[in-house]
Amino acid sequence: MRIIPAIDLIDGKCVRLTQGDYSTKKVYNEDPLEVAKSFADAGIGYLHLVDLDGARTGSVVNWKVLEQLSAKTPLRIDFGGGIKTADDLRIVFECGAVQATAGSIAVKDRDEVARWIGIYGSEKIIIGLDVKEGKIATAGWRETSEEEVSGFLDFYLSAGARYTVSTDVAKDGMMQGPAFKWYDGLMRDYPGLKVVASGGIRGMDDLLHLREAGLDGAIIGKAIYEGAVTLKELSKLC
């Protein structure tokens, strides 16, 4: 299982939110490069970079941070937040992202995202599946869709998608444990899908549980920044 630390960006700074609520913003470091280098120095190979400004405004904002981190660290970066157009996606890849997450756009324009998968390949495009009270959340989790999860995933699997990052919004930033049953169900119902867990991780026990369950990856954010798990501990799972 891939260990994937997260950096969430607002105004170019490393922050965390709780359940996607921008009013809960807490700045942990004003230099994302310093944080990213600490991950790389610990032997971690991946980074989940989220443009919260982009998620809120509907277009990629923090592309310069992505460019800097990809140029100055060896981390394999997946980028999400604000990707709404083919130009947004092109900028993200030109700035060094290895993968890009289609979030709201995957719900609102299936055909366009399917076209992206056809152009860039299934290894490059991640389908964001954020769930709030059983419904798919969009627009930085401020809105929910009536889209059925089953139809949504069936469409993208048929289009060639192989990766999804899935968050139970109620778990995000709460450090009360991941949505284990939700992930078990996804992997049972969609064995061809590589599922990356995000949200709620409290520490090493949760990560070991997710690894044993067969997750492709686990994104961990607040537990790192609050000291519930150390980079040294994480490095042992890499």
66 and 79 Cβ atoms separated by less than 8 Å? yes
CA–CA separation, 8 vs 196, rounded Å? 17
How far apart are the C-alpha atoms of 51 and 10, rounded to whole Å?
Answer: 7
The continuous run of DSSP H or E covering 25 comes out as strand 21-29
For tokens 């949504």, name the residue. Answer: 152
Q: Which residues are catalytic?
A: 8, 130
CA dist., res. 160 & res. 153, Å (int): 11
Q: Parallel, antiparallel, or unpaired for β 99-102 and 76-80?
A: parallel
* 3 state SS of 24: strand
Contact partners, residue 115, CB within 8 Å, separation at least 6? none
Residue 224 neighbours by CB under 8 Å, 6+ apart: 5, 231, 234
Cα separation, 59 vs 83, in Å, equals 6
Q: Residues 22, 53: contact at Cβ < 8 Å? A: no
